[in-house]
Amino acid sequence: MTTPRPGDSTDPAPAQPGSAPPNQTLTLTAMLFAVSMTFIDQTVVSIAAPDIVRELGLSASGMQWVVNAYLLSLAAFFALGGRLADVLGHRRVMLAGTLIFVVSSALCGAVPSGDLAQTWLIVFRATQGFGAALMFPAALAVVIAVFPVERRGRALALFFGLSGALTAVGPILGGWLTSWTWRSIFWINVPVAVIAIVLTLMARIPNRPRREPVDVPGAVLMAAGMGLTVLGFQQAAGWGWSSAATWACIVGGLVLLALFCRLELRTQYPLVRLQVFRDRAFAVDAAVLFFSMLAFVPVFFFASVYAQVSLSASPNQAALYLLYFFIGFAIASQWGGRILDRRGARPALKLGTALGAVGFALWAGKLTTLSMHDQWLYAAMAGAGIGLLLAPASTDAVNRAIGASYGEVTGITQTIRNFAASVGLAVFGTVLTHVTTNRVHTTLRSAGLSDAAAQDAAHGVAEAVTGNGDARQPSGEGRIAEVMRDSMDAIRMDFAQANQWVFYCMAGALAVAFVCALCHPGTRVVSGSEKPADRSV
């Protein structure tokens, strides 16, 4: 049933007295330019990593922290960014986040050589993540506030479709820019940010702050708990799942998050109003986002590495391989937005999760053909499934914001997405490393190596191709090197078969999301001018 939310302002943001209404087209364009930087920067640095290490002399663990510092900061401060957007005004926080992000980007590009380089990059990558954590929920809240409910689905489908596709642009852009200088991957953000700021000012977006205090103790607990938990998952591959440090981070972070939840239930002005989870539809939206994001973000990494190892593709060819996925994603995301506007979120969630599960499963089955041509349809199906559900789940969740706290609820949904991505990368990375090691060990034993030599070489191969741990060269060059060269075709197939396990796990995550989608009540949120109508499916 279609149900309005009493007390919630679901109409577009009114203009200030005596001023013109906000320009919706300019608003959407400005926000897309702003968030495009955050999506591209999630993948672009990985492509430039070898050049950065070579010029600055960073250690392997140091370079890993350059990548992780951004993601950790992003996960830790998303909820705070959403709350600040509500309290200080969406436009103001979006502009502040953009400035922090672009200044940090310029400083990353200007990193000096020498002993200070590693610390410099890690610090300003972290502040980059903080700027993104302010910018993204505020930008999304701006779009939500400017577009009415009946047009919001299509607007956010375009927002998520284009911004999500930019994640695939990262490796392509990174490869092209790095051929000039790796520093340009950070400097490219400067003109993009200038365009975003100018368009934001031209769009006449109203800024409506709320006179409420910010829950500082809650923000500290949330940042520490989320940061520790994500750190544990990120470092699990390097430290090992049996490491005390891994579990100290994960368990310690979860304890802090439990304390955060307890605090929020007792605070008059909480950072996150946990009561929103009492809305069954919101809880289902959050669950669908969590399980689908286990696959969506990790697929960029695993598909790219598979293409470069098993298909012998270059980094740029691997990025083009990902475009199969995004063709389906971009097309279906627009369809999902229209379904949301006309029939509510439930049909889009059911269809998207089912299509995604089938697509990932069929894609997994084709990985061992070692042919891009044989895989494009199933990669596109997997992308279409995610595209169908992403905007409807995110938009339906935000539409159910308590008291129109769009920034706050956006912070919740984006935190869930980032947390799920970290879990997916850690767990699937462990699966990939384990299966690759076992299969390569069997291959090398069959080729005549001793058990110890084959095990040592298999570990080296697995760590080198998955990026987990510190890859080591197997001892005993002569015979082992010869066997490795002769067995490369078999090793490529071993890696493809190991990736099958990962992609089947992704299909399983989408299947769980489908079960969650069945629990959606099918209600819709509409503006006060609309008449309730039964749209249940």
* 155 close to 28: Cβ distance less than 8 angstroms: yes
Domain ranges of the chain: 10-206, 215-270, 435-495
Apex 285 CA angle, 32 and 229, nearest 5: 80
Helix 376-399 and helix 149-178: axis angle, to 10°?
130
What's the CA gap between 46 and 64, in Å, rounded? 9
* 537 close to 8: Cβ distance less than 8 angstroms: no
423: which 2 tokens?
């879990």
Cα 427 to chain centroid distance, Å, stands at: 15
Apex 73 CA angle, 67 and 75, nearest 5: 105
What's the CA gap between 35 and 222, in Å, rounded? 23
- Residues whose CB is less than 8 angstroms from the CB of residue 198 and which lie 6 or more positions away in sequence, other chains included: none
Pinpoint the alpha helices (H) of 373-405: 376-399
60: which 2 tokens?
């392997």
- Residues whose CB is less than 8 angstroms from the CB of residue 338 and which lie 6 or more positions away in sequence, other chains included: 153, 154, 157
Shortest CA distance to 471 belongs to which of 60, 180, 164, 113? 60
10-206 belongs to CATH 1.20.1250.20: yes
* 410 close to 137: Cβ distance less than 8 angstroms: yes
pTM, to two decimals: 0.80
- What are the pLDDT tens digits along the chain (537 aa)? 434 433 344 445 555 554 567 888 899 899 988 888 887 776 677 667 777 888 888 776 677 788 778 878 888 888 888 889 888 998 999 999 999 999 999 999 999 988 889 899 999 999 999 999 999 889 988 888 888 877 777 787 777 777 666 665 666 676 677 778 889 889 989 998 999 999 999 988 888 888 888 889 998 998 899 889 888 887 786 788 889 999 999 999 999 999 999 998 888 888 888 888 888 999 999 999 999 999 987 888 788 888 888 998 876 777 778 888 988 988 888 888 888 888 889 999 999 999 999 999 999 999 999 888 899 999 999 999 999 998 899 888 878 766 556 677 777 888 888 888 878 888 888 888 889 988 988 888 888 777 888 788 887 777 766 655 544 444 445 556 666 677 788 888 999 999 999 999 999 999 999 999 999 998 776 654 333 333 333
State the chain's maximal CA–CA distance in angstroms: 83
266: which 2 tokens?
């007792």
* 90 close to 141: Cβ distance less than 8 angstroms: yes
Helices and strands (H, E) in the chain, number of each type: 19, 0
